[in-house]
Amino acid sequence: MTVPMRVMISTDEIQAKVKQLGEQINQFYANSDKDLVLIGLLRGSVIFMADLCRTIEKPHELDFMTVSSYGGGTVSSRDVKILKDLDGNIQGKDVLVVEDIIDSGNTLSKVVEMLQTRNPNSIELCTLVSKPSRREIELDVKFLGFEVEDRFIVGYGLDYDQKYRHIPFIGEIGL
């Protein structure tokens, strides 16, 4: 089944933004003597995190969590479930949580709350896309890619029912 789609953020715009975010992250962590861990929230962050980590000059670890609040729908259920926890220890480390999209903020808020109990040196947030009009919980996002209107978008890791992640741009789909 083909779904009608309109390009919102082109591949070139995404790649330029990833490079810019990498430069900001390099500058931010330049003087830190702590180990850096990038934590990707599966599955949506994988493509963004893979590109982003190659722009970060400081040696770093990669780890992942699987969290869910959408199921097969297009709107967050607000019922956040941790399906896969971290494999490594983050105590005393600088943590950069890498997310594909921040919508209501509920999912990421719960993740940050859980990570804080593990005594990292710091926790910062990096997201490719933010929908500020949907925000229910305010978050301090240190590294922000794009702000978009309240549209249902897919591509570059963002999905609808596990489909369309492979698209190299971000597009709005008509459902």
* Catalytically annotated residues: 103
Cα–Cα distance between 89 and 75 in angstroms, integer? 32
Distances (CA, A) of 7 to 44, 95, 153, 172, 174: 18, 32, 9, 6, 12
Cα–Cα distance between 140 and 162 in angstroms, integer? 28
Cα–Cα distance between 137 and 80 in angstroms, integer? 14
